[in-house]
Amino acid sequence: MRLLIASCQVDYAGRLTAHLPRAVRLILVKADGSVLVHSDAGGYKPLMWMTPPCTVHEGRDADGSVVWSVGAVRSDDTLRITLHEVLSDAVHALGTDPGLRKDGVEKHLQELLAEHPSTLGAGLALVRREYPTAIGPVDLMCRDGSGASVAVEIKRRGDIDGVEQLSRYLDLLNRDPLLSPVRGIFAAQEIRPQARVLAIDRGISCVTVDYDALRGIDDPSLRLF
């Protein structure tokens, strides 16, 4: 990766035209061929960029300033970067990235709740993870203390779409005489108020899950509504 801090102006031509007047900015040229121009504000998103595959040609304009001409291989888009003054220029080999490992996502929540189904309700026991249906798998199929079937849908953040998804599962599962009656539990680290209202209206229990507690960091802390 090459990192430049430079006083520059940038011009883009393609589906539209755009211009960045002269200012000090960070320019990244990544090993995958992408070129990104950042300011010291605006969060993570670059002001202008060119995604790979693209080509970079270096030349000079009439004033003697270095000019990078960045062209997209698969389109007519071009990025022209005029470097008026380079303040820093460094090259670093980052090596192979092992990839992003996410913690606390739905898969991990599902695994933890499958190991401890009783935290979702007293007497709850796991029947199967990813219980198959004609419209997709139910995250957890359980039985309560009386032997009744309980379908559990797990989300990191619970919204109306998740409640609708569980409602469709319940409608289908309750047509099976070997399972019916099946009630539902909607479990998430955070459940939006509108989703909670819809779930309660449809007879679905809502459980907010403390992920750290499930991992044994703190005492279990679940709120059942």
pLDDT in tens, 31-52: 888 999 999 988 889 999 998 8
Strands 35-38 and 125-131: unpaired
Sequence-separated (6 or more) residues with CB below 8 Å from residue 221: 210, 213
Burial class (CB in 10 A: 0-12, 13-18, 19+), 142: buried
Range of the domain at 8: 2-91
DSSP 8-state code for residue 80:
E
pLDDT band, residue 101 (cuts 50/70/90) = low
Domain annotation covers residue 100: no
The two tokens of residue 140 are: 């957890």
Q: Give me the CATH number covering residue 138.
A: 3.40.1350.10
Domain annotation covers residue 96: no
Domain count, the chain: 2
Distances, alpha carbon 11 to alpha carbons 16, 56, 67, 132, 185, in Å:
11, 14, 11, 53, 54
pLDDT score recorded for residue 222: 44
Domain annotation covers residue 101: no
pLDDT score recorded for residue 223: 43
pLDDT score recorded for residue 195: 96
Q: Report helix, strand or coil for 137.
A: coil
Residues 73, 118, single domain; the answer is: no
pLDDT in tens, 2-26: 999 999 999 999 989 999 999 999 9
Residues 130, 41, single domain; the answer is: no
Share of the chain above pLDDT 70, in %: 93
pLDDT score recorded for residue 218: 43
Residues 212, 150, single domain; the answer is: yes
pLDDT tops 60 at residue 225: no
pLDDT tops 80 at residue 215: no
Residues 62, 154, single domain; the answer is: no
pLDDT score recorded for residue 224: 43
pLDDT tops 70 at residue 89: yes
Number of H helices, E strands in the chain: 4, 13
Peptide bond into 53 cis (omega under 30): yes
Q: Do residues 99 and 105 touch, judged by C-beta distance below 8 A?
A: no
Q: Do residues 73 and 54 touch, judged by C-beta distance below 8 A?
A: yes
pLDDT in tens, 129-176: 999 999 999 999 999 999 999 999 999 899 999 999 999 999 999 999
Q: Give me the CATH number covering residue 33.
A: 2.70.180.20
